[in-house]
Chain A
Amino acid sequence: MRGDDPALGVHLRAWCRSEGHGFGVDPDGGYDVVRGDAEQLRWAGAERAGDPSPQGVVRRPPAHWGLAARGALVEAGGPAPGFDIADRDVVWADLAPRLYAHAAAAQWDPATAVDWTIPEPLTDEVEAAVVQVMTYLVENEQAALVIPARLLARVHPHFREVLQLLAVQAADEARHMEVFTRRALMTGGQLGTSSAGGRESLNSLLNEADFSLASFLLSVLGEGSFLSLLGFLDEHAPDPVTRQVTRLARVDEARHVAFGVAHLEHEGALDPTLRGRLRAAIERRHDALVDTAGLNADVFDSLVVLAAGEWTPEAIARGHAAVQRLHATMDDGRRQRLHRLGFPDDEATELSALHTRNFM
């Protein structure tokens, strides 16, 4: 090596020593550097962390791949972080990459996606019903944010698309919390009630540590039921803001349900014991909640008033009938999704009936 920096020889000698390269002063001028084998040795035991494509996902990525990008050349050694959800058959769905791409493209800005004007004030009764339903929705969205966020931190990053999907799911719920809160506060500035029974029901979701079971209870049954609820609110919304926010949220929730169903279908095809565990999870939750009040009575009443649209006996009767139909629609949806997961009709009917009265 030759160069015109006067300190070249001083620095090159020191650098070669620290890097494990040989150094000598060349009798013909300049310096001789002999490459050491340290770098080769460093990478001698390295391995590829699968392949970057979704087809390159391995069944059980080792813990020491840790935060390395899927497909990267991973130096041996280093930390082995405790990502305990590390089995492809538990988290993966072939649909995940496509769902993530769709979710990323479908993100919307609450400030611009909603026209935040209500042309005419609602009657006090109907406005109070909207506020109560929004209060309830925020509470449920908060549970729906916390659960994927908790699971996300436990999933091995090798399953990149699953992490991305769960992250976007959490971001979806963050927007839902915002728009429902904002709609609730548009008129009076006070929120409605939060019942102990409702929170008890949601708490039982937070306590489910198993990825598949949590995803089943939250996404397939809970958010699945919410698809019907948000559809109902869209249909009976007394003002355009309520209609827009419930419609936007419903599109997001449909994606969450799709992932839950897809990955449980994937897992169920590989693990014949899955259905038994899903059944047990529904029964366990039902037993845990059997002595609680279920749906907040204020929420039930508000749904009736919303569907009624006015405070007259005839309208209230219509509203009540509509809420009964909502229950039937939710039940239909749950049974269909249980059927897709391989439950026979009678068992699907039985299990759907055991689902929490709090909807989520």
Chain B
Amino acid sequence: MPGDVLVMGAVAYDPKVVTIWAGFRAWLADAGLPFDFVLYSNYERQVEDLVAGSLDAAWNSPLAWVRAERLAAARGRRVRSAVMRDTDQDLTSVVVVRADSGIGAVAELSGRTVGTGAVDSPQATLLPLSFLRGQGLDTADVTVRRFDVGVGLHGDHVGGERDAARALMAGEVDAACMIDGNHLLFTQEGVLPAGATRVLAQTPVFDHCTMAIVDTAPPGLADRFVELLLSMSYGDPVVRPLLDLEGLRQWRVGRTSGFGPLSTAVDESGFYGPDGSVLALGYRP
């Protein structure tokens, strides 16, 4: 019966998503919460179903959060950012150049080629390009080369950022945009050999994924869901492997304070309209 079970959507950006949420479902059931999840192939349909009330909660990318908030408002509904991973708070992205490139300032990117992640990647496309604009760079004078891997997954697939990093080392682009953790990862992998790149610029902090809960969700179940997620301890050997897979040490109370820069970037680039409609040209999840 609808309303008897809390239903959450999750995007299957990787096969491990099944392991993670099937594991959490069993853990939540043991704790007495009737919970189920539905897998989506992309965030756009998940967000639409959330706002339509087919879902009670959606494990959203930051971009999906921005759209959910807009769609909900346009339809007289509300969504809340209920819970986030500790690893979703205070991230930064970097713009990287080759160490020997001679590019010493953001302004010097004018007339050059900048590699980004997929069209819908918050951390490797929307946020860094907005940040560069904010630094006074006219992006009309920059050639943006997008690496569209996993379009519809809102940058969850690391492939676009890795391809941009490879293109940087191959001399195909003059700069590449990526999240701070991936600069470390690509350095460790050797995609970006140690000492071969220089961080030209770093964005201010922003937030990443959040559990969006719509106001049509059964309030008791929704609150219990949030409460149980927040109670998960890394000291619990049953849940620890799932937290490791999902990439967190603890859940934190959700917030919206870290989504401002992305909302600005979405408006600047015309990715979504104020009502949450998809405006981005050529974006087909």
Which single residue of chain A is at the shortest CB-CB distance from B91? Answer: A17
Q: How far is the CA of A23 from the CA of B92 in the complex (A)?
A: 13
Q: How far is the CA of A17 from the CA of B180 in the complex (A)?
A: 11
Q: A41-B235, A45-B237 are in contact. Are A18 and B247 (CB under 8 A)?
A: yes
Our pick among A18, A38, A45, A75 for the contact of B181 (Cβ within 8 Å) is: A18
A41 and B92 contact, CB distance less than 8 A: no
A11 and B240 contact, CB distance less than 8 A: no
B237 and A75 contact, CB distance less than 8 A: yes
Q: How far is the CA of A44 from the CA of B247 in the complex (A)?
A: 20
Q: How far is the CA of A78 from the CA of B198 in the complex (A)?
A: 41
Among A6, A38, A44, A45, the most chain B Cβ lie within 10 Å of the Cβ of A38
Tell me whether A77 is interfacial, beta carbon within 8 Å: yes
A10 and B184 contact, CB distance less than 8 A: yes
Q: A20-B250, A42-B240, A77-B240 are in contact. Are A14 and B235 (CB under 8 A)?
A: no
Q: A7-B183, A15-B184 are in contact. Are A76 and B198 (CB under 8 A)?
A: no
B157 surroundings in chain A (CB, below 8 A)? none
Among B94, B179, B240, B241, the most chain A Cβ lie within 10 Å of the Cβ of B240
Q: How far is the CA of A14 from the CA of B208 in the complex (A)?
A: 13
Our pick among B94, B235, B241, B250 for the contact of A10 (Cβ within 8 Å) is: B94
B183 and A11 contact, CB distance less than 8 A: yes
Chain B interface size, as a band, is: 20 to 34
Fill in one digit per residue for A1-42: 1 if any B CB lies within 8 Å of its CB, else 0.
Answer: 000001101110111011110010000000000001110011
B237 and A6 contact, CB distance less than 8 A: no
Which single residue of chain B is at the shortest CB-CB distance from A75? Answer: B237
Which single residue of chain B is at the shortest CB-CB distance from A77? Answer: B237
A10 and B183 contact, CB distance less than 8 A: yes
Tell me whether B31 is interfacial, beta carbon within 8 Å: no
Fill in one digit per residue for B199-210: 1 if any A CB lies within 8 Å of its CB, else 0.
Answer: 100100000000
A36 and B249 contact, CB distance less than 8 A: yes
Q: How far is the CA of A42 from the CA of B198 in the complex (A)?
A: 36
B86 surroundings in chain A (CB, below 8 A)? 17, 20
A6 surroundings in chain B (CB, below 8 A)? 198-199
Minimum Cβ distance to chain B for residue A11 (Å): 4
B234 surroundings in chain A (CB, below 8 A)? 20, 37-38, 41-42
Among A14, A19, A23, A75, the most chain B Cβ lie within 10 Å of the Cβ of A14
Q: How far is the CA of A19 from the CA of B250 in the complex (A)?
A: 11
Q: How far is the CA of A328 from the CA of B183 in the complex (A)?
A: 80
**What DSSP secondary structure best describes chain A's contact surface?**
helix
Minimum Cβ distance to chain B for residue A69 (Å): 19
Minimum Cβ distance to chain B for residue A316 (Å): 72
A14 and B237 contact, CB distance less than 8 A: no
Q: A6-B198, A6-B199 are in contact. Are A42 and B235 (CB under 8 A)?
A: yes
Q: A7-B199, A10-B202 are in contact. Are A18 and B87 (CB under 8 A)?
A: yes
Minimum Cβ distance to chain A for residue B20 (Å): 15
Minimum Cβ distance to chain B for residue A21 (Å): 9
A44 surroundings in chain B (CB, below 8 A)? 235
Q: How far is the CA of A36 from the CA of B235 in the complex (A)?
A: 13
B241 surroundings in chain A (CB, below 8 A)? 77-78
Q: A15-B184, A36-B249, A38-B249 are in contact. Are A10 and B237 (CB under 8 A)?
A: no
B199 surroundings in chain A (CB, below 8 A)? 6-7, 10
A17 and B235 contact, CB distance less than 8 A: no
Minimum Cβ distance to chain A for residue B231 (Å): 14
Minimum Cβ distance to chain B for residue A296 (Å): 56
Q: How far is the CA of A44 from the CA of B234 in the complex (A)?
A: 10
B249 surroundings in chain A (CB, below 8 A)? 19-20, 36, 38
Q: How far is the CA of A18 from the CA of B90 in the complex (A)?
A: 12
Which single residue of chain A is at the shortest CB-CB distance from B205? Answer: A13
Minimum Cβ distance to chain A for residue B50 (Å): 27
A77 surroundings in chain B (CB, below 8 A)? 237-238, 240-241
Q: How far is the CA of A86 from the CA of B249 in the complex (A)?
A: 35
B198 and A14 contact, CB distance less than 8 A: no
A17 and B184 contact, CB distance less than 8 A: no
B90 surroundings in chain A (CB, below 8 A)? 13, 17, 23
A18 surroundings in chain B (CB, below 8 A)? 87, 181, 247
Minimum Cβ distance to chain A for residue B247 (Å): 7
Minimum Cβ distance to chain A for residue B246 (Å): 12
Minimum Cβ distance to chain B for residue A49 (Å): 15
Minimum Cβ distance to chain A for residue B242 (Å): 10
Q: How far is the CA of A14 from the CA of B185 in the complex (A)?
A: 10
A17 and B87 contact, CB distance less than 8 A: yes
Q: How far is the CA of A15 from the CA of B241 in the complex (A)?
A: 19
Tell me whether B233 is interfacial, beta carbon within 8 Å: yes
Q: A20-B86, A20-B250, A38-B249 are in contact. Are A13 and B180 (CB under 8 A)?
A: yes
Q: How far is the CA of A78 from the CA of B244 in the complex (A)?
A: 13
B235 surroundings in chain A (CB, below 8 A)? 41-42, 44-45
Which single residue of chain B is at the shortest CB-CB distance from A17? Answer: B87
Minimum Cβ distance to chain A for residue B93 (Å): 10
Q: How far is the CA of A17 from the CA of B87 in the complex (A)?
A: 5
B94 surroundings in chain A (CB, below 8 A)? 10
B87 surroundings in chain A (CB, below 8 A)? 17-18
Q: How far is the CA of A76 from the CA of B238 in the complex (A)?
A: 9
B180 surroundings in chain A (CB, below 8 A)? 10-11, 13-14
A13 and B92 contact, CB distance less than 8 A: yes
Minimum Cβ distance to chain B for residue A38 (Å): 4
Minimum Cβ distance to chain A for residue B119 (Å): 24
A to B CB contacts below 8 Å, 23 in the list: A7-B183, A7-B198, A9-B202, A10-B183, A10-B184, A11-B187, A13-B92, A13-B180, A14-B179, A14-B180, A15-B184, A17-B91, A17-B181, A18-B247, A19-B249, A20-B250, A37-B234, A38-B250, A42-B235, A45-B237, A77-B237, A77-B241, A78-B237
**A-B CB proximity, top 9 nearest:** A77-B237, A20-B249, A76-B237, A41-B235, A14-B181, A41-B234, A14-B180, A38-B249, A11-B184
